């Protein structure tokens, strides 16, 4: 679709944003605003002046600051985060194209196939032996064990023309261990990138060690530019849980996927594959923009993941917390870790609660999503926070002063949310999860910086 059409459509959708009673300017006002509750006849609060809260399939190009305070800037980035979330989870049709007529969550089920799920999966970029990536749009390579006996593999591996995700990864970054749900099943992780990023990797042959060794210069992924209305690099990391007993599928974005457990020598695990229904529990959306060469880091979670620490008034059910179990929180399961077997559920608590401002914008968007369709699964997601560079162009500060300094998703950085010292949470530089700090260390296999993407360090 043309950008013109996108804009028109976005305008139409903004009608969905029902005007509220107040139009406060400051974040303080936002803090005091009553929380609009998602209801049958939602009436969400309007955003501060100068911003429109709308549901649009347009991927935002960049953040435009509307004020000079930290609170105002954070609100702008959180707005950007939600626009990203909505646009990337917009309905795609059977051919994988955005369908502007089908508003996010408007299908009778309340769910829909999404834009980012049509993007290029990590396994199709970094391939054994340094082989070139499979073409954009090609289905994932299906291991033989996933081509179930007697069945035509193409049919099983794809739903329509949208390829089924192939979920492999079952451990968090740097061997910190798995996240295990209340049914004893390991969460799975997936990384995809958009086409500008993919094209850049292919054009510069960064997918192989040989290509990286001959690459000269600095990895500079293309960035989105508001002035020229060009879209740049976006990467997405998703965390999924296999839906099972106790899970309410109507509260998740659900995907059918091939869950593949590769063979392992240590511990000895035979490869296996199963087709499963998965619920989306965590979603990082990371975009490189002209104003943020260190990228803008947003992260979302399904609302039932885990309670805040210290846990008080726990709900009766969480994806990753058992009320009353007494198990120590955020403690990794004992080794050996074997995703082919059931393990002890991880008792997760969120160590940094969402800010009041983030809760406000979450309520606004959740209400908008519910207004489209009371059954919309998307109303059950919440923004955790958005991390952005406050000094993006200071040579003394190549990291750009990450703001806020820390950010963790309980499903992806479960074990580095903060140190508990005598029951108090301490947020530790370099130790506690900070997207930008950590990804600033990402390199090619040649040790040259890889533009904040760890994907390329895996090249063969």
What residues line the site for other proteins (CB under 8 A)? 68, 70, 73, 172, 174-177, 209, 213, 266-267, 330-332, 334-338, 390-391, 395-399, 401, 403-405, 413-416, 418-421, 426-432, 438, 440-443, 445-449, 457-458, 460
Q: Which is nearer to other proteins, 13 or 27 (CB)?
A: 27
The torsion region of residue 110 among left (phi > 0), alpha (psi -120 to 50) and beta comes to: left
Q: Using an 8 Å Cβ cutoff, are 88 and 58 in contact?
A: no
Q: Which is nearer to other proteins, 378 or 415 (CB)?
A: 415
The rounded distance, in Å, linking the Cα atoms of 124 and 131 is 10
Kindly tell me which of 157 and 348 has the beta carbon lying closer to other proteins. 348
Q: Which is nearer to other proteins, 254 or 351 (CB)?
A: 351
Angle at 458 between CA 457 and CA 460, to 5 degrees: 115
C-beta atoms surrounding 224 within 10 Å:
24
Tokens of 42: 């939602």
Residue 118 in tokens: 């049509």
β-pair type (234-242, 188-193): antiparallel
**Toward other proteins, which CB reaches closer, 112 or 432?**
432
Longest dimension (CA), the chain: 63
- CA nearest to 352, candidates 330, 337, 319: 330
Q: State the nearest-atom distance from the C-beta of 207 to other proteins, in Å.
A: 15
Give φ, ψ of 414 to 5 degrees: -55, -40
Number of neighbouring beta carbons within 10 Å of residue 197:
25
Q: 267 or 323: whose CB is closer to other proteins?
A: 267
Question: In terms of CB distance, is 226 or 332 closer to other proteins?
Answer: 332
Helices (H) and strands (E) in the chain, counts: 9, 13
Contacts of the segment 140-146: beta carbons below 8 A, 24+ positions apart: 140/164, 140/165, 140/166, 141/166, 142/166, 142/258, 143/260, 143/262, 143/271, 143/273, 145/260, 145/271, 145/272, 145/273, 146/258, 146/260, 146/273
Q: Which is nearer to other proteins, 122 or 369 (CB)?
A: 122
- In whole angstroms, the minimum distance from the beta carbon of 205 to other proteins comes to 15
Residue 169 CB, shortest distance to other proteins, in Å, is: 12
Closest CA to 199 of 128, 287, 125: 125
Nearer to other proteins, 240 or 337 (CB): 337
Estimate the crossing angle of helix 356-372 against helix 70-88, to 10 degrees. 30
- Minimum CB distance to other proteins, residue 227 (Å): 22
In the structure encoding, which two tokens stand for residue 458, read together? 């895996």
Residue 267: asked if its preceding bond is cis (omega within 30°), the reply is yes
Closest distance to other proteins from the beta carbon of 178 (Å): 12
- Contact call for residues 73 and 65 (beta carbons, < 8 A): yes
Q: Give the containing element (helix H, strand E) for 385.
A: strand 381-389
> What are the CA-CA distances from residue 293 to residues 145, 166, 305, 398, 401 (Å)?
41, 30, 31, 10, 12
């Amino acid at each position: 679709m043309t950008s013109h059409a996108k804009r028109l459509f976005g305008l139409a959708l903004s009608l969905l944003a029902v005007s509220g009673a107040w139009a406060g300017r400051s974040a303080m006002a936002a803090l005091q605003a009553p929380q609009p509750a998602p209801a049958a006849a939602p009436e969400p609060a309007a955003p501060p002046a100068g911003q429109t809260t709308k549901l649009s399939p347009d991927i935002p190009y960049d953040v435009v600051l509307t004020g000079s305070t930290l609170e105002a800037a954070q609100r702008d980035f959180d707005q950007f985060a939600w626009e990203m979330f909505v646009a990337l989870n917009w309905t795609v049709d059977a051919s994988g194209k955005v369908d502007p007529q089908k508003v996010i969550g408007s299908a009778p089920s309340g769910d829909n196939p999404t834009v980012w799920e049509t993007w290029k999966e990590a396994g199709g970029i970094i391939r054994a032996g340094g082989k070139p990536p499979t073409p954009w749009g090609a289905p994932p390579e299906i291991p033989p064990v996933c081509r179930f006996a007697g069945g035509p593999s193409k049919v099983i591996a794809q739903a329509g023309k949208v390829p089924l995700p192939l979920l492999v990864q079952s451990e968090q970054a740097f061997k910190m261990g798995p996240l295990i749900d209340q049914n004893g099943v390991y969460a799975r992780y997936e990384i995809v990138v958009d086409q500008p990023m993919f094209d850049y990797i292919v054009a510069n042959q960064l997918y192989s060690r040989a290509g990286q060794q001959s690459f000269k210069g600095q990895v500079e992924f293309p960035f989105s530019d508001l002035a020229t209305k060009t879209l740049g690099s976006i990467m997405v990391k998703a965390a999924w849980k296999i839906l099972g007993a106790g899970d309410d599928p109507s509260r998740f974005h659900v995907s059918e996927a091939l869950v593949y457990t590769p063979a392992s020598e240590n511990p000895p695990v035979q490869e296996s594959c199963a087709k499963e229904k998965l619920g989306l529990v965590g979603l990082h959306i990371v975009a490189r923009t002209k104003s943020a060469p260190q990228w803008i880091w947003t992260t979302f979670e399904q609302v039932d993941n885990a309670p805040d620490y210290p846990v008080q008034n726990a709900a009766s059910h969480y994806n990753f917390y058992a009320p009353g179990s007494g198990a120590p929180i955020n403690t990794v399961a004992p080794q050996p870790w074997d995703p082919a077997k059931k393990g002890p559920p991880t008792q997760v608590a969120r160590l940094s609660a969402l800010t009041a401002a983030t809760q406000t914008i979450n309520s606004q968007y959740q209400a908008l999503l519910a207004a489209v369709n009371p059954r919309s699964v998307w109303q059950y997601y919440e923004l955790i926070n958005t991390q952005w560079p406050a000094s993006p162009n200071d040579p003394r500060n190549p990291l750009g002063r990450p703001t806020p300094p820390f950010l963790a998703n309980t499903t992806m950085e479960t074990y580095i949310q903060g140190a508990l010292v005598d029951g108090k949470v301490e947020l530790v530089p370099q130790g506690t999860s900070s997207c930008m700090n950590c990804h600033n260390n990402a390199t090619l296999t040649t040790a040259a910086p890889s533009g904040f993407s760890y994907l390329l360090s895996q090249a063969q």
